[in-house]
Amino acid sequence: MTDTGTTNEKRKRGAPLGNTNAAGKNIETPERMWELFTEYKAWCKSNPRFENVVIPREMTTLARELERPMTWNGFDTWLMDNGIIKDTEDYRGNLNGAYSLYSEVITRIRKVIETDKFEGATVGIYNANIIARDLGLVEKKEVDNKGGVTIKHRTLETSDEDEKSDEIG
């Protein structure tokens, strides 16, 4: 089988690269993974999504630019589109302990992605409900099905029973 181009030509075509080093890792070092992530981050910020907004008075639509959020799936897709690797699952999961050198950069990438999502949702760039669910920030309420409700209140008098609770039900 003949090689049909240099590594850069393969990346431009989106062709998957084979293992190119002795360790069998497509992303040779944690430093290289960080470099690739920073390229992905720059790509996200310079390649926005668009939303068509209808302007009824003018009977027209306008394409509104929306910032593209960073995600692990997006990073994996970007790596695949650039012919680097199909996904980062082995690196993130430290498959067979073979990727322990990558744990620090994986943590850093995860934190950058989560911070971007959280800050973007906080200032209204991204949908706060979707990001809250994605980051596991949903509010949880416990409902007791025993039929009783506990109400706590404080008395204004100073006594040994400063805090009382009444049960209803």
Q: Please report the pLDDT score of residue 9 as a whole number.
A: 46
Q: What percent helix, strand, coil does the chain show, rounded to 5?
A: 45, 15, 40
CA-nearest of 95, 6, 81 to 40 is 81
Please check whether residue 103 is in contact with residue 77, taking contact to mean a CB–CB distance below 8 angstroms: no
Per-residue pLDDT tens over the stretch 7-17: 444 444 343 44
Does 99 have pLDDT greater than 90? yes
Q: Is the dihedral of CA 95, 96, 97, 101 positive or negative?
A: negative
Indicate the pLDDT class of residue 169, thresholds 50, 70 and 90: very low
Please check whether residue 149 is in contact with residue 142, taking contact to mean a CB–CB distance below 8 angstroms: no
In the block, which residue shows the tokens 């209204």?
A: 124
What are the CA-CA distances from residue 25 to residues 9, 18, 33, 88 (Å)? 20, 9, 11, 11
Please check whether residue 20 is in contact with residue 11, taking contact to mean a CB–CB distance below 8 angstroms: no
**Secondary structure (3-state) at 125:** coil
pLDDT (mean) for 68-75: 93
The pTM for the full model equals 0.64
What is the residue extent of each domain of the chain? 7-140
Task: Supply the CATH classification number for the domain 7-140.
Answer: 1.10.132.80
